[in-house]
Amino acid sequence: MKKEEKASISIMKIIAISIILILISGIGVMAVNTKLNDVKIILHNGYEMTALTSKTKVSEILEENNIVLEENQKTIPDLESEITAGESIKITDKSYQEVQIANISEKGVETSLNQLLENYAPITEKIVVEQVAIPYETVTKNSTQASEDANNKVLKQGQEGLKEVTYKIKYQNEIEIEKIVLSETVIKEPVNKIVQVQKKTTSRSSTPRTSGSGNTYKVTAYCSCAKCCGKTNGTTASGTKATAGRTIAASSKFAFGTKLNIGGHVYTVEDRGGAINGNRIDIYVNSHSEALRWGVRYLNVDVVN
Strand partners, 153: 196
CB-based burial, 58-95: b 16+ in 10 Å, e otherwise: bbebbeeeebeeeeeebbeeeeeeebeeeeebebeebe
* The pLDDT of residue 206: 45
Rounded percentage of the chain residues whose pLDDT exceeds 90: 9
What confidence category does residue 215 fall into, taking pLDDT thresholds of 50, 70 and 90? Answer: confident
**CATH code for residues 123-196:** 2.20.230.10
Please list the alpha-helical segments (H only) found in 203-300.
226-229, 288-294
CATH class, 37-93 region: alpha beta
Tens digit of each residue's pLDDT (9 = 90 or more) over 178-187 = 888 888 898 9
* The pLDDT of residue 267: 94
Q: How many CA atoms lie within 13 A of 259 on its CB side?
A: 10
pLDDT at 148 over 60: no
Cα(294)–Cα(218) distance, integer angstroms: 12
pLDDT at 120 over 50: yes
Check residues 23 and 45 and name the one with the higher pLDDT. 45
* The pLDDT of residue 259: 92
Check residues 104 and 91 and name the one with the higher pLDDT. 91
Range 63-90 average pLDDT: 87
Q: How many CA atoms lie within 13 A of 2 on its CB side?
A: 0
Range 131-153 average pLDDT: 69
What confidence category does residue 66 fall into, taking pLDDT thresholds of 50, 70 and 90? Answer: confident
Cα(260)–Cα(271) distance, integer angstroms: 13
Q: Where are the domains of the chain?
A: 37-93, 123-196, 200-304
Cα(86)–Cα(51) distance, integer angstroms: 10
Residues in the chain: 305
Tens digit of each residue's pLDDT (9 = 90 or more) over 241-277 = 889 889 999 988 889 999 999 888 899 999 988 778 8
Check residues 287 and 101 and name the one with the higher pLDDT. 287
pLDDT at 135 over 60: yes
Strand partners, 296: 139
What confidence category does residue 166 fall into, taking pLDDT thresholds of 50, 70 and 90? Answer: very high
pLDDT at 305 over 50: yes
Check residues 1 and 286 and name the one with the higher pLDDT. 286
Give the predicted TM-score (pTM) of the model: 0.35
Same CATH topology for 37-93 and 123-196?
Answer: no
* The pLDDT of residue 298: 86
CATH class, 200-304 region: mainly beta
pLDDT at 232 over 80: no
Cα(98)–Cα(39) distance, integer angstroms: 27
Range 51-61 average pLDDT: 87
* The pLDDT of residue 261: 92
